[in-house]
Amino acid sequence: MPSPSSPSGSPHVLPRYRAIVPEWDRFVDACLRPLPTVVRTNTLRIDPPSLRKRLERQGLSVSPLPWEPMLLAVDRPVGATIEHWLGYLYVQEAVQSLPVLALDPRPGETVLDLCAAPGGKTTHIAARMDNVGPLVANEPSGRRQPALLANVNRLGLLNVTNTGYRGESFPLAAAFDRVLVDAPCSAEGTLRKEPSLRGGATAGAIARLARLQKRLIVRAYDLLAPGGVLVYSTCTFAPEENEAVVMHLLETRDARLTPASLPVDASPGLSSWEGVRFPTAVRRCARIYPHRLDSGGGFIARFERP
């Protein structure tokens, strides 16, 4: 359903967040612009300069993003190119690379992607690990598993084991050095490619998702080895799915919230929302807005287990 319009004729964009989003007019303008096409270089198969040359030879305009050379902005879709089918690239919003940069997985570590389909972050993690060390890609949805498996195979991942557990009940038999929870969410941050989301998610959907997210983040933390790192991320702006979920983990476990150290301009986590005050440490979280990054929006929290 189209979002309502104001008397001036401009569409309302996520009106419930007007009080918390900095530079509101720039935010709205960015949300109404088409989303740029960005691809992530699959460094398991090619380096960014070589991929750029191959795409330019086909007549594409290609520009590396200044904060992450693996990401290339292109001027038209690339899904039908031979480079795509050879697994040289993954089409991905720029913002979606940030959770993996915050996770910072290393070769030889044991890593879990708890909500893995369709595989963008799993394939990014494997590339950062240089295909060395066990990487578990977990996806409970049978409908989404084929896309995950296809991308794992297309991009040449050799260190991935696929599982299909419900994330909130993933077995505690193993301990991981790093765990990523890119949680199912109301996806308001994807509104540039899904205009139906401009009006925001319903209160009922946000509440339902927040209950699941709280179960996921606790199980993910319990799966960490001592000294392990957990990154929790969403592609939504709803504090109920972001800061409130982080607060839940801080209240139920001895988790240490640390700065995500992102290479882009992000806003800190909120201090309060609708009468609820969040712990001071929640300011270490990162809120990513489209007008700061020219991408979608999202939220990232990074934890360490003592």
Tell me if residue 235 is catalytic: yes
217 φ/ψ sector (left φ>0, alpha ψ -120 to 50, else beta): alpha
- Residue partners of 276: CB distance under 8 A and separation at least 6: 244
Alpha carbons 220 and 84: distance in angstroms, whole number:
32
Question: Token pair 């992607």 is at which residue?
Answer: 113
Burial call 146-164: b when 16+ CB within 10 Å, e when fewer: eebbebbebbbbebbebee
Quickly list DSSP for 108-157: T--EEESS-TT-HHHHHHHHHTTT-S-EEEE---TTTHHHHHHHHHHTT-
Which residue of the set 31, 115, 235, 285 is catalytic? 235
Active-site residue set: 235
